[in-house]
Amino acid sequence: MNHTCRIELDGRSYELPVVEGTENERAVDISSLRSHTGYITLDDGYGNTGSCTSAITYIDGEQGILRYRGIPIEDLAEQSSFVEAAWLVIFGHLPTSTDRERFSALLTANSQLPQSMLKHFDAFPPHAHPMAILSAMINTLSCHEPPQAEITDDAGLERAAARLMSKVRTIAAASYKASIGEPVVYPRYDYRYAENFLHMMFSLPFKEHEVTPEAAKALNLFLLLHADHEQNCSTSTVRMVASSQANLFASCAAGVCALWGPLHGGANVAVIEMLQHIHDSGVNVTDYVKKVKSKNSRTRLMGFGHRVYRNFDPRSRILKKAADELLSTLHVHDPLLDIAQELADAALGDDYFIERKLYPNVDFYSGTILRAIGIPVNMFTVMFAIGRMPGWIANWKEIHDDPSTRIYRPRQVYTGNTLTEFVPRTER
């Protein structure tokens, strides 16, 4: 393999280094391009631009491969748990039983919010979007506890990670309770991660919610599948903010804001709204797909397509299977899942989608699982954020631990006015 490449600019030839990753991905290192040539590159949406090297998650979009620290997502889905996968993503290896017990105990010990923070929930209007509350409250957490001071080693990161991962769960449940006018329910010391969330969401001070093993297992899987996904929009946002040496909480609060958009984490809400619209309006799937395909259509098949996957998103296959199993265990029939399957069958056989390599992504089936365990639709993206917290923490750590990290500051090609005179107010 050549370790350099040549480019010609204005009749001159330049040699640039080539970088190769452990999975044979190759990149032209352009860090000296501007100083040597005066040129920069331009790449709309960064579709061809690597912002960093990273050792956390590997995706092969052509093959539909996803691995956390080299371990296939299918094996983790089958044999691991969200908390264990979170540790793997953050610290680079599966936890020993000692690691696991210590981290679990830290998660439990950090599950309650500072009492004064609970007052904030009374100030949000009932219709406040839970992603707005989550982002605001993550930053508020940093007002209560010094996140920066503590993170000087892996033990400090473990404490901060446990605090953040545990408290985002409590914040989410508390925002739901506030929105329905119910009192906040405190976490339980004897519950594991997913069970405690469902308990805080659906119990009442005078009536304990029965957390079923099926619901806890399905939520665990949902969170595990969302734990990390390379340099997606929100993770890149976390790295952008982290590169200024902002603290972990500020970086993850920014990640929440980027995830919110319907083209990204907000798609899991948009998918259910799309399926509900098809169900309630009675429009048939063929006509809906025709509408999506029509030129200048602004209607997208939500939950379909991906910047990296040009094949099935492996998470969508796992989620579809889990949704089928959960619904049959609960003896529930969800007509929206039937519509989703009809849409998928129609699209996967249609040239428009085949030519553009559009397949179901993580959001296409995930909402069915959340619906089946009773999570309200407007909380779906919050669930995505809770799942993605380990990936954001791991990426923040990669930036924080790397002494060669430079602040992210992309260039631009200016297309505005050339030199323009100032016109005094009296002459305008």
Contacts of residue 294, defined as CB under 8 A and 6 or more positions apart, other chains included, come to none
Q: Which is nearer to ligand SDX, 77 or 301 (CB)?
A: 301
Our finding on whether 45 is near ligand SDX (CB under 6 A) is yes
291 binds ligand SDX (CB under 6 A): no
Count how many Cα atoms sit within 13 Å of the Cα of residue 355 in the half-sphere of its side chain: 4
The distance of closest approach from Cβ of residue 371 to ligand SDX in the complex, given in angstroms and rounded to an integer, is: 17
- From candidates 285, 302, 323, 393, binder to ligand SDX by CB under 6 A: 302
Min separation Cβ 191 and ligand SDX, Å: 27
Structure-token pair, residue 361:
């992504």
305 is a contact residue toward ligand SDX (CB under 6 A) = yes
**Residue 304 per-residue DSSP state:** B
In the bound state with ligand SDX, the residue whose beta carbon lies nearer, of 362 and 383, is: 362
Tell me the residue type at 153. Answer: D
306 binds ligand SDX (CB under 6 A): yes
Residue 320 Cβ, how far from ligand SDX at the closest point, in Å? 15
Applying CB under 6 A, which of residues 64, 187, 303, 387 lies at the interface with ligand SDX? Answer: 303
Q: Give one DSSP letter per residue of 208-246, joined into a string.
A: -----HHHHHHHHHHHHHTS--SS-HHHHHHHHHHTTT-
280 as an active site residue: the answer is no
Minimum CB separation of residue 308 from ligand SDX in Å reads 6
Q: Which is nearer to ligand SDX, 185 or 370 (CB)?
A: 370
Exposure class string for 380-419: b at 16+ Cβ within 10 A, else e: bbbbbbbbbbbbbbbbbbbbbeeeeeeebeeeeeeeeeee
Pick the catalytic residue from 229, 306, 313, 334.
306
Q: Which stretch binds ligand SDX (CB under 6 A): 116-124, 134-142, 304-312, 370-378?
A: 304-312
* Closest CB to ligand SDX: residue number: 305
Region near ligand SDX per CB under 6 A, out of 77-85, 215-223, 299-307, 417-425: 299-307
Distant-in-sequence, close-in-space partners of 238: CB < 8 Å, separation ≥ 6? 251, 252, 254, 255, 392, 395, 396
Amino acid at 36: H
Of the candidates 296, 300, 378, the one whose C-alpha atom is nearest the C-alpha of residue 343 is 300
Applying CB under 6 A, the span of 72-80, 181-189, 295-303, 375-383 interacting with ligand SDX comes to 295-303
Count of residues of this chain found to bind ligand SDX when the rule CB under 6 A is applied:
21
277 binds ligand SDX (CB under 6 A): no
**Known active-site residue 228:** no
- Give the CB-side neighbour count of residue 326, counting CA atoms within 13 A: 29
- Write b or e for each residue in 106-144: b if 16 or more Cβ atoms lie within 10 A of its Cβ, otherwise e: bbbebbebeeebbebbeebeeeebbbebbbbbbbbbbee
Minimum Å gap between C-beta 50 and ligand SDX is 14
Give yes or no for residue 292 binding ligand SDX (CB under 6 A): yes
The answer to whether the CB of 92 falls within 8 A of the CB of 55 is yes
Site map (CB under 6 A) of ligand SDX, residues 338-377, x = contact: ------------------x-x--xxx--------------
Q: Which is nearer to ligand SDX, 17 or 262 (CB)?
A: 262
* Residues within window 225-264 making contact with ligand SDX, judged by CB under 6 A: 229, 232, 263-264
Helix 193-202 vs helix 82-91: angle between axes, to the nearest 10 degrees? Answer: 120
At residue 18, φ and ψ (nearest 5 deg) are -115, 135
SS3 177: helix
Contact pick of 116, 307, 345, 349 for ligand SDX (by CB under 6 A): 307
**Contact positions vs ligand SDX (CB under 6 A):** 45, 229, 232, 263-264, 267, 292, 300-308, 356, 358, 361-363
Residues with a catalytic annotation lie at: 306, 363
